[in-house]
């Protein structure tokens, strides 16, 4: 040894710029110069990335309606590629007959309410009702 080998001189932090969420990566390292390449060394520890928001949600299918209630069927499986899904939210938007769906504000700008609060406000403005506790039963997770 000539003294240059002690300690880490140039640590490299991989920031995940090209890494997907909720994945376990391995790393192989080698050195290279004008004379050639060293033998590779495989990093033996886990390199796990954090969870991220789901990429998409499959649209539900409508179940038969009876005029006072409606149901939704979630036929696709849960996409938990980016991490476990904790709950789903369903937007309940009362519309008068002369209002087009296209005129509604974007979903992420709607107010999120609990079920009880939404039932008290359901005729005044668009809102989102949290139904997270019911969804796992509907989806058989």
The predicted-structure confidence for 50-74, as pLDDT tens digits, reads as follows 999 888 888 888 888 887 777 888 7
Where b means 16+ CB within 10 Å and e means fewer, 21-60 reads: beeeeeeeeeeeeeeeeeeeeeeeeeeebeeeebeeeeee
At 124 the pLDDT is 54
pLDDT at 129 over 60: no
Q: What is the pLDDT of residues 86-115, one digit of tens each?
A: 777 776 767 778 877 777 777 777 666 665
30: pLDDT confidence band, cut at 50, 70 and 90?
very high
Query: Regarding predicted confidence, which is higher, 30 or 78?
Result: 30
pTM: 0.50
**DSSP-derived secondary structure for 6-73:** SS-SS------TT--SS-EE--EE--EETTEEPPPEE--S-EEPPP---S--PPPEEPP--SS---EE
Length of the chain: 141
Q: Specify the pLDDT at position 134.
A: 40
Q: Say if CB 72 and CB 62 are below 8 A apart.
A: yes
| Cα distance between residue 120 and residue 20, in whole Å | 42
Q: How many Å apart are CA 34 and CA 12, to the nearest integer?
A: 22
């Amino acid at each position: 040894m000539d003294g240059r080998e002690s300690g880490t001189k140039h640590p490299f932090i991989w920031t995940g710029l090209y890494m997907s969420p909720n994945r376990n990566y391995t790393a192989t390292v080698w050195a290279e110069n004008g004379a050639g390449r060293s033998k590779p060394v495989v990093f033996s520890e886990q390199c796990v990335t954090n969870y991220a928001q789901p990429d998409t949600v499959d649209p539900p299918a409508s179940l038969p309606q009876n005029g006072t209630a409606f149901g939704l069927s979630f036929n696709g499986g849960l996409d938990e590629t980016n991490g476990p899904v904790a709950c789903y939210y369903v937007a309940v938007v009362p519309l008068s007959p002369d209002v087009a769906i296209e005129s509604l504000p974007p979903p992420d700008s709607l107010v999120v309410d609990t079920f009880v609060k939404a039932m008290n406000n359901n005729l005044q403005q668009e809102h989102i009702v949290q139904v997270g506790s019911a969804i796992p039963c509907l989806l058989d997770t």
